[in-house]
């Protein structure tokens, strides 16, 4: 929530460190924790696309591309089906979380 409420500052101050900290939270295996960051990433990308100044937008895209590529890796790991056998309820939860991601 903190990241979401300060998106304009993140872009204005090029706060790569803040975004990388949120990325670390996204990589936590426990999806009840990591899923808290999903709304931030959605808003982060949507706000980036709305930037009117194309030169500034491209600057930000270039700066945040490595982070967003890491986010893709994190997302793929969360979407991998677990090795162990899941109960029906666990499988339903997994599919729901996977869909949300």
The tokens describing 85, both together, are 């056998």
pTM of the model: 0.74
The tokens describing 94, both together, are 């997994």
d(CA 29, CA 77): 9
* Residue labelled with tokens 């808003």: 43
d(CA 22, CA 16): 10
Residues 34-80 have pLDDT tens digits of: 889 999 999 999 988 888 889 989 998 999 999 999 999 998 887 77
């Amino acid at each position: 929530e903190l990241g979401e409420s300060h998106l304009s500052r993140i872009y204005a101050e090029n706060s790569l460190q803040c975004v990388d900290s949120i990325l670390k939270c996204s990589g936590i295996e426990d999806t009840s924790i990591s899923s808290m960051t999903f709304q931030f990433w959605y808003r982060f990308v949507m706000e980036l696309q709305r930037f009117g100044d194309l030169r500034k937008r491209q600057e930000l895209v270039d700066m945040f591309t490595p982070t967003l590529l890491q986010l893709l890796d994190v997302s793929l790991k969360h979407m991998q089906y677990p090795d162990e056998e899941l109960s029906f309820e666990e499988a339903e939860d997994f599919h729901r979380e996977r869909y949300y991601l």
